[in-house]
Amino acid sequence: MTAADDLSTLMARVALRDRAAFAGMYRATSAHLLGVAFRMLNNRERAEEVLQEAFVNVWNGAHGYNPHVATPMTWLINIVRNKAIDLLRAGAGERRHAVALDDDDPTVLQVPADDALEPQGMLEASLLHAHIDACMAALSAQQRQALALAYYRGLVHSEIALQMGAPLGTAKAWVWRGLDKLKECLSARGVGA
């Protein structure tokens, strides 16, 4: 049984609210996932916060994991990555909207509108995610995993080949063909045009 098979088994048990399986999954993946968060945030405390939030999501959302879409580790990395991005965006938003207070200026307390939080912006973001999910589902499992390793973990072709146990040329083909199919599918759906 491979590590991926072990994680798949643990994930299925976590979906059934098995605390021992959850502890096993944490032990098996937390160091790597903490590294992913740390590389994105460059701050140990914030990375630990993201990891904790991610595992709360895993505990509450393991029933939604689909093994046909991604490996357990890819799914976990995606959760950590999204939590880190949320934290980075929140920090950027705070810095962008910070102003020195001037008691004589009546516009100081006016907050600019954020189009992304308006109903139209939220609908467009939701539709974009649905298009991306549908296009990713159309890729082969190897293409999805190769793209996930490249995008979420920042691996280069040789590292992807090593990680997936495939020849370098095959790994390159998975990445490039996956990107081509993804671009073609998104273009057909009017995304990025």
Distance CA 106, CA 40 (A): 38
The residue to which tokens 């904790």 are assigned: 52
Cβ neighbours of residue 1 closer than 8 Å, sequence gap 6 or more: 9
Q: Note the helical H segments in the chain.
A: 3-15, 19-41, 44-61, 72-97, 119-137, 141-152, 157-164, 168-188
Report residue 93 as tokens. 């938003």
Distance CA 148, CA 163 (A): 12
Give domain limits for the chain.
1-97, 119-193
On whether the 119-193 domain is CATH 3.20.20.140, my answer is: no
Q: Which DSSP string corresponds to 151-183?
A: HHS---HHHHHHHHT--HHHHHHHHHHHHHHHH
Local confidence pLDDT in tens for the 193 residues of the chain = 456 668 889 999 999 999 999 999 999 999 999 999 998 898 999 999 999 999 999 999 988 888 888 888 989 999 999 999 988 888 765 555 455 555 555 555 555 555 555 676 666 777 777 778 888 888 999 998 998 888 777 788 898 999 899 999 999 999 999 999 988 988 888 876 5
**CA-wise closest residue to 52 among 75, 84, 28:** 84
**Taking the chain, what is the end-to-end CA distance rounded to the nearest angstrom?**
44
Just give the CATH number of 1-97: 1.10.1740.10
**CA-wise closest residue to 38 among 6, 69, 84:** 84
Tell me the whole-structure pTM to 2 decimals: 0.49
Distance CA 14, CA 112 (A): 43
